[in-house]
């Protein structure tokens, strides 16, 4: 695992993402119907390098998510007794360059922290199944694979 000292959303982060298969795209890679993007749209974006413009509403959602992650991180740290650091990591797995932008990773243990904004579908799925949505699980699986957590 290689740790990259880049800030999520920065030009350096976008350049790094362009060279890797990203955990946030894992649900689309797997064709999950709950993904934010279809598999066909993902393949088109990866093949052409042309990504849709981020509109103001989407940017506000991203900003709200990052603010919620930062606000929740101290609560999670208190629960697990470890400090968490947002980090971007990459690794080659079976010849495939993979990237994960993590909401929190401790310095020593093999845990990771991923925060999601709450929504009705997430609440319902957790209540009914006791586990994350499949579309969230694909991202978690890639994060675990890349970090070895």
Q: What is the pLDDT of residue 73?
A: 94
DSSP 3-state of 99: strand
Q: What is the pLDDT of residue 34?
A: 86
Give the pLDDT of the chain (149 residues) as one tens digit per residue: 999 999 888 999 999 999 999 999 999 999 998 888 999 999 999 999 888 888 999 899 889 988 999 999 999 999 999 999 999 999 999 999 999 999 999 988 788 999 998 889 999 999 999 999 999 999 999 999 999 99
Q: What is the pLDDT of residue 124?
A: 95
Q: Tell me if 85 sits within 8 A of 107, measured CB to CB.
A: yes
Q: What is the token pair recorded at 119?
A: 């929504």
Q: What is the pLDDT of residue 3?
A: 94
CA atoms of 69 and 114, how far apart (whole Å): 8
Q: What is the pLDDT of residue 60?
A: 92
pTM value? Answer: 0.86
Q: What is the pLDDT of residue 138?
A: 94
Q: What is the token pair recorded at 76?
A: 């999670």
Q: For 115-137, give the DSSP string.
A: -----HHHHHHHHHHSS--HHHH
Torsion angles phi and psi, residue 144, rounded to 5:
-65, -40
Q: What is the pLDDT of residue 108?
A: 83
Query: What's the CA angle centered on 104, arms 146 and 20, to 5 degrees?
Result: 35
């Amino acid at each position: 695992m290689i740790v990259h000292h880049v800030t999520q959303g920065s030009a350096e982060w976008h350049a790094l993402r362009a060279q890797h298969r990203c955990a946030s795209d894992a649900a689309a890679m797997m064709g999950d119907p709950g993904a934010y993007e279809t598999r066909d749209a993902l393949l088109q974006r990866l093949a052409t390098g042309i990504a849709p413009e981020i509109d103001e509403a989407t940017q506000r959602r991203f900003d709200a998510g990052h603010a919620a992650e930062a606000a929740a991180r101290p609560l999670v740290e208190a629960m697990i007794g470890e400090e968490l650091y947002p980090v971007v990591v990459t690794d080659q797995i079976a010849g495939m360059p993979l990237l994960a932008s993590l909401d929190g990773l401790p310095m020593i243990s093999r845990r990771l922290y991923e925060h999601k904004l709450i929504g009705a579908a997430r609440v319902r799925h957790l209540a009914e199944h006791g586990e994350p949505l499949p579309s969230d699980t694909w991202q978690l699986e890639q994060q675990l694979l890349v970090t070895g957590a």
